[in-house]
Chain A
Amino acid sequence: MATQHVIIGGGPAATNAMETIRELDQQATITLISDEPAHSRMALPYWLSSQIPAAHTHTADAAFFQQLNVDARIGQRVTAVDPNGQTVTLTDGDKLAFDKLLIATGSSPLDLPVPGNELAGVQNLWSLGHTQQLLDATKDAEQPRVLMIGAGFIGFIMLNAMHKRGWNLSVVERESHVLPRMLNADAAGMVNSWLTSRGIDLHCGAAVESIAEESDGSKVVTLDNGTTLSVDVVIVAIGIKTNLDFLDESGIETNQGILVNEQMQTNLPNIFAAGDVAEGPVLGSDKKEVHPIQPTAVDHGRIAGTNMAGETVAYRGSLSMNILDCCGLQTASFGRWDDTSDDVLTISNPTGLVYRKLIWQEDQVVGALFAGRANDMGMLNDLGMVKGMLQTQARMGAWKEFLQENPFDIRRAYIAAGVPQQLVSSTLLGRPSQPRKYRFGGKVSAVQANQSHTVFVDAKSS
């Protein structure tokens, strides 16, 4: 009998699990339940900045679900999970039976508990719906004034998009510097002055006390230091929480997120969790953590899908990593970037806009932090190699000392320590990755052998 798979969610974890299950099992029935169209949150800022149409953020459409023979219930949510009866209940009252269930419900933005938070023009900026809401709210304004409350990673991706559109931007952050969950004070200091030089009005170390509305519709935001700011739209981006509420009394073990083992399995063997909502294995650590980032969601989805389809594959754990373009200043962090160990390599040149930090544990790199101009190609490619060092947990041996003395010669240490050799033989699922099948607009990449070759005389034959 065909296995009945039910997937709750429409983000990257859900769609990757869906495609993986279908790749491995043509007979299984798959139902996917998502309140918004299947899409990738990482792409939303590019829609907001009007670089791409809304549909480009989608990762599946009706035709694709049909092609994969997936019953997609878009616009529905799950209100309850019954692990004993092996059913889920949808908002429309429908009850679906499952043999294998994947919970990939992601996370939601937190509300700001201050007076005036319910006013029209005060909103989150997290989902497709929120993005549309902001586009609608600003469509008639030439240069909308937008205040962002909270200077976190997701908020800043959106800030970058609004900056590209030339909007008038201000930011309020409770902590003493921007990106408190991604950068230390030194690197954030560079970002602070950079953003200020780009015309963004920053208020760090201040909290919002209230929001009021004026007769012309402007929002007046009062801070606890007495400052008042008048804007058109207030965006609340103070953090996220995992979407777990519907699991109350289901018996599924949770902490910050749903606790999963290395097969992305919860304490109930037929129920799996993946993506932002899952608290799973961490690379190089015994702890479990929620890593609400796209690459982890993809890994989780592929591992969960493989195990749900009946193969057994174990996840080594996710690596926390973030890359963020702060209006032309690129920042990136990996692993234990916030470790307070003093066994570190730090290069800080605020005037030259170069910041690099490697955090060591013995001779292994366990965390890293970078900031530099967005067009600093050297930095972008060094980032990848540092990721390779973290991912392989390479022992750098004598090369640790070399890096301390030659922090910009990452390439040599990376090669000498044998990192690429370790990487070539490892894959997530024990077999080559397949490209995902959905393409926006059916566009397929293709390269033809370039005729420019004919200008070369084969050097070897001369």
Chain B
Amino acid sequence: MGQTVSKQRKIGMPKSLKIVPDKCTGCMQCELACSWVQTGTFAPSKSVIRVNVFDEEASYAPYTCLQCDEAWCMTACPVNAIGTDQNGAKLVSEELCIGCHLCTLACPFGTVFTLPKTDKASKCNLCGGDPACAVACPTSAIVYEESTPAGDWFGPWSEKVNKNYVAANS
């Protein structure tokens, strides 16, 4: 909590999921694709990407784990069940996860989920380097690419949601 990460890893940076909120139509294809690849079912409730639906402003945006540098989920895990792979994805080992929910609590983005059937943690693992959500998105609102830094789309998106709301309610 608190130190600023210096600009780093420009070369050979892992790719990350970049969201372009303006392009999202709220079609939820990403949720279907995600749940299919992650759990073998077409069940948005099991998807680890969630579309934010802000109907009043006709504004939608998918939202999932950024594979952030701090990885609160990974450091909080009491049994070291969360590791990383070559894509920089933080992975939950289902074999090691004991279902204590500490990662869900520790992640300040709210992007670590629990699978009700197993009570184990479930989060975006970038599908091993070929994220289904990005493939399924018909409008390129989700792209998997090198971007510096990860999550640089958050700021403009936040501002827009804020501005729209204030404008609509003033």
Residues of chain A whose beta carbon lies under 8 Å from any beta carbon of chain B: 12, 16, 40-43, 46, 51-52, 56-57, 59, 283, 294-295, 298-299, 302, 313-317, 319, 321, 323, 325, 330, 332, 374-375, 377, 380-385, 387-388, 391-392, 398-399, 402, 411-412, 414-421, 423-433, 435-436, 438-440, 443-450, 452-453, 455-456, 458-460
- A-B pairs, top 6 by smallest CB distance, nearest first, are A388-B108, A430-B3, A384-B110, A445-B93, A42-B78, A459-B138
A56/B157 in contact, CB under 8 A: no
30 contacts between A and B (CB under 8 A): A12-B78, A42-B100, A299-B75, A321-B105, A323-B104, A323-B105, A380-B104, A381-B110, A391-B108, A398-B169, A399-B162, A412-B165, A416-B158, A418-B159, A420-B66, A423-B108, A425-B4, A426-B5, A427-B3, A433-B75, A435-B74, A439-B83, A440-B80, A445-B85, A445-B92, A446-B91, A449-B127, A449-B130, A452-B132, A453-B135
B80/A392 in contact, CB under 8 A: no
A435-B74, A460-B138 known; A387+B85 contact, CB < 8 A = no
B129/A449 in contact, CB under 8 A: yes
A426/B96 in contact, CB under 8 A: no
Residues of chain B whose beta carbon lies under 8 Å from any beta carbon of chain A: 1-6, 29, 33, 36-37, 40, 45, 50, 52, 54, 63, 66, 68-72, 74-76, 78-85, 89, 91-93, 95-96, 98-102, 104-114, 116, 119, 125-130, 132, 135-140, 149-151, 154-155, 157-159, 161-162, 165-166, 169
B52/A412 in contact, CB under 8 A: yes
Interface centre among A315, A415, A440, A445 (most CB of B within 10 A): A445
Q: Which of A59, A424, A435 lies in contact with B79, CB distance below 8 A?
A: A59
A316/B2 in contact, CB under 8 A: yes
What's the minimum C-beta distance from A21 to chain B, rounded to whole angstroms? 16
What's the minimum C-beta distance from A323 to chain B, rounded to whole angstroms? 4
User: Which B residues touch A455, using CB under 8 A?
Assistant: 36
B108/A392 in contact, CB under 8 A: yes
Please measure, in the bound complex, the distance between the C-alpha atom of A445 and the C-alpha atom of B105, giving whole angstroms: 21
Please measure, in the bound complex, the distance between the C-alpha atom of A386 and the C-alpha atom of B132, giving whole angstroms: 28
A42/B68 in contact, CB under 8 A: no
**Count of A-B residue pairs with CB < 8 Å:** 256
B140/A460 in contact, CB under 8 A: yes
User: Which B residues touch A425, using CB under 8 A?
Assistant: 4-5, 149
A424/B104 in contact, CB under 8 A: no
A377-B45, A420-B154 known; A298+B108 contact, CB < 8 A = no
What's the minimum C-beta distance from B112 to chain A, rounded to whole angstroms? 7
User: Which A residues touch B158, using CB under 8 A?
Assistant: 415-421
18 further A-B pairs in the complex, CB-CB below 8 A; given A416-B158, A445-B81, A449-B130:
A299-B1, A315-B2, A323-B104, A377-B114, A391-B1, A414-B110, A426-B4, A426-B70, A432-B70, A435-B74, A435-B82, A440-B96, A443-B96, A447-B128, A449-B127, A453-B127, A453-B135, A460-B137
Kindly report which residue of chain A lies nearest to residue B115, judged by CB atoms.
A377
A447/B108 in contact, CB under 8 A: no
Please measure, in the bound complex, the distance between the C-alpha atom of A149 and the C-alpha atom of B85, giving whole angstroms: 45
